[in-house]
Structure 1
Amino acid sequence: MIRQRADRGLRRKATCGFALLAGAVLLSSCVSGKDDTSGSADAPAGGSGAETEDSSPLASSVTTSTKLADNLNVDVLSLDRHNEDVVVLSMRATNNAESEIRLSDLFMYPPRAGGQRYTPNGVSLIDTKNMKRHRPLVEKGQEGCLCSDWQGDIDLQSGDSIDFWVAFPSPPEDVTDMVVSTTITPDFPNIPLKTADSADEEITGSPIEEPRILALSSLQDDLDGSSSREESGDETSIMLSSDVLFELNESEVTSEAANALESVASEIDNASGKTVRIDGYTDNSGNDSINVPLSEDRALAVETELEDLVTRSGITFETAGHGSNDPVATNDTEEGRQKNRRVTISFEK
């Protein structure tokens, strides 16, 4: 088993089981072989009881939104306050498949761009008491998050595990548990938030960008998957499946879409906003030269329909096509691609 320490600007390797120097800070990802019993991977120093391979995680899940399914197991190991501003989440991914799994950008959101670090920046924490989503802290001058740095593609061999950590802005003192949300698993609810035995000063002392704590939106999906709606602050966004609105690769609204668009028009009539934004999206099939124009044409087609259906005067429509950018689900499954083929209609309540 190899333990990797990700120090600021320097990456060093040492075999597991070595004596730790006083004050050493462990910011690491660890890969352990399935036959190895020498101990666990490192989590940030000062945790409220470091997890070992023999200890039970706080919560576990297999992936649900990728083709890996139960071949990749994800554990939550600990969630600790390191000071009044920083909490650190420790997790583990285990390959249960008979062949290797390339983690790459599975825990990233949005997917990795060229030259960007591979990091678990797609993980977030949800404060249900205050209805807030905490995004990972970002170190000044760095891309990605203040978290484990995987540096390149990670080939996780059969039976191997990798431990990783992510730093977040702290919630208020009265918050005692949070939800851990990832891009590839169901949410992990009620993860206890404890106080670290000692703060990891390398993490807490890192200069960071302005923390991102977002208002938690209310999201509701129809049972048939044809539409969903998101309520955020004073805005309503209604996402309609392109599979309901259009024929394959077409931009002419079908007769079957009438009921859905009439319902949206009624909501716009009853709202107060004067501007309606219509955004078209596709899955990642094809390329931008096809997807962007198609998404633009579909947004314009929906605008034409709504202009006829909305009875309130003074409404301005704004349309845009984004192609396969800004996916709301994985493109690795048909279910995910169906969610990504959509038209979103947004307006003030």
Structure 2
Amino acid sequence: MTPNLKVEVVGLNRVKAKHLVAQLRLTNTGTDKNLPWTGELADNTRPLGAIRWASGIGVLDAQARAWILPYQPADFPCLCSDQDRDGLGYFIRPGRSITLYAVMPAPSGSPATTTVVTPVGLPMLNVPISDEPPVTPPGMIIPDPEAEPVTTVIRRLVTPSESLDESEETADDGRDLHVNLSSDVLFAVNKATLTPKARTVLARTAKLIDSSAGPTVTVEGHADSSGSDTINDPLSTRRAQAVRHALSALVTRQGVGYQAKGYGSRRPLYSNDTDEGKRRNRRVTVTFAKPQAAETEPVATSEPAASPGATGLTGSGKADGQPISMEVTGLRRLSGGLGLLTYRITNEGGAEAWYNELHHAPDWLSYKYQAASNVRLTDVAADRQYLPGRLQVPTDDGGVDSYCACTDVSGVRISTEKFGPGQAREFWGLFALTEGGSTMQVKIADFRELQVPVQ
């Protein structure tokens, strides 16, 4: 996302079987301007005061659905390079390089490779992990994560999907499945009696519960912001109880316990400022341990996305009167039931253009910052649509902020939607991508829908 900034992983070392030391080389490939690096490598899910640190260097633990970032000591934002303390300065001069480090927990399962993530570009897949001690440049001192108390910084990755008939949506956090059943499908307005169509919807959920090994199923009723608590609270409770009763009759697995509770309008998932947000907030959420499915190992590759060549994976449109093009550069299956979509958008015109459609998704208000979230993957055979993953960050007040597991377009990365004449930018997004079809329908913003092969 930053012109003339080249990022290379030059070291990835597992230490004491539980820590990971990452070293990245940043190079200014330009010829005439100094390049600032500090704000570019900062983690935007932490306070902005940490922008001079390389706190955004991390790895994706796909199996655990975790986005792992550098440890946080008591006195510093992260166990990573700092422009002042490490004498790196604010700028990289033309043609020069600097090397940064970050120390974090090692990904689970002692994998031979991992995916390295930074705020500045596409995730880097299948980077080898060495169990040898790190080899550092002269003058670099890697701090010992066991020398002082440190806090682990891990962002839980949740991957949402929804049925094409809008009857339910599912959020997978790697441990549990949260199945949000539409109250508009299950019940008539202001009623708690299940509709005839509800049995079909609940039968699908019961099948998932049968495939789970968890002993407990939690059923929660929720309402939108319309009406008062005196109406919403008892109605949401009765609806949760109705779903619990129906599921207990449909689930065939023995030893399953059920808990049901209503929360009224106090736990919205989406903004109640739109009709679509209200529709999604009217729901009954069924939560249980995620069923364990067999994993398909991803095909090893040295690049995050190879150009598909003349396969027609392109689209065109207009932005601010300028011709703008899009090309899908890859849809890759990762481990842990994840997939990485990469694509390129180019301003083909001769004048500057803003392209705002990338964040104009129906659920864009659900994110802390605007992001390239207006992307959907559809598996017609499975009757499912997949939305970009979300990074969950706990807040001081006990809530959760959601950040898109995709390219930022605002917040700390201002003007990403602004394209100069002829300028191209690479974008990415993480999605659930389970076993099955060899192609997916991909819809990016207002470009035409494409049939994209899964690599």
Tell me the TM-score normalised to structure 1 length.
0.49
More strand by share: 2
Structure with the bigger RCO (C-alpha within 8 Å, sep 6+) is: 1
Q: TM-score, normalised by structure 2?
A: 0.39
